[in-house]
Amino acid sequence: MKIYKRSPIDREVTFKAPYYECHACNDSGIIHNSDGLINHHLPDYDMTDSGKRSGGHDLALICYCAAANAKYDEDNQLICKGYRELDNTIRNNVGVNIDIDVVREIHNMRKEGWTKTTKVMNKVIHQNNKNGEKNLINCSPEIQKVKDQLANFTIKSL
């Protein structure tokens, strides 16, 4: 068995949310808006004048977590530059700051979302395994919503 694969029994009985130190940026140093949470605080962030997502036309929002900072080894040699200087300014103006309390709120909301998702998924998996079902046929409204959204999903060519 390949070391990066979960065992079949583990895949069938558990759902595991991704692990991040920082859910605001998923440990990348750049706060993402894939779920639209940034728009609760910056309504026009990455939006066109017509109200559609523009997909990266606005400046990056730089996180405050360790992933955004330079990393040094034990000899104080630079390993990774990061997005922030030692004085917390943003290196080469690659992005902008947003209020740290907003970043904390986004982190907490995403972390709570993964906790809820994990509970729902594990409950559904447990119920289906208990009933001898292998597919998520009798699923929660949340899962059914995603299934419905994906039913007609097509990848658009560039």
Residue 13: both structure tokens together: 């009985």
Packing angle of the helix pair 100-130, 141-151 (nearest 10 deg): 100
Burial class (CB in 10 A: 0-12, 13-18, 19+), 151: exposed
Its pTM surpasses 0.95: no
Question: What DSSP designation does 86 have?
Answer: T
Give the DSSP letter of residue 53. Answer: B
Work out the burial of residue 117: count CB atoms within 10 Å of its CB; fewer than 13 is exposed, 13-18 middle, 19 or more buried.
Answer: middle
Section 126-136 average pLDDT: 69
Distance, CA of 108 to CA of 106 (rounded, Å):
5
Q: Judge whether 63 and 90 are in contact, CB under 8 Å.
A: no
Q: Which helix (H) or strand (E) holds 129?
A: helix 100-130
Does the pLDDT value for residue 42 go beyond 60? yes
**Residue 32 scores a pLDDT above 80:** yes
Please compute the mean of the pLDDT values over residues 29-37 and round it to a whole number. Answer: 92
Is the pLDDT reported for residue 51 higher than 90?
Answer: no
Please give the residue that has the higher pLDDT: either 146 or 97: 97
Question: Residue 119: which of 20, 9, 16 has the closest Cα?
Answer: 16
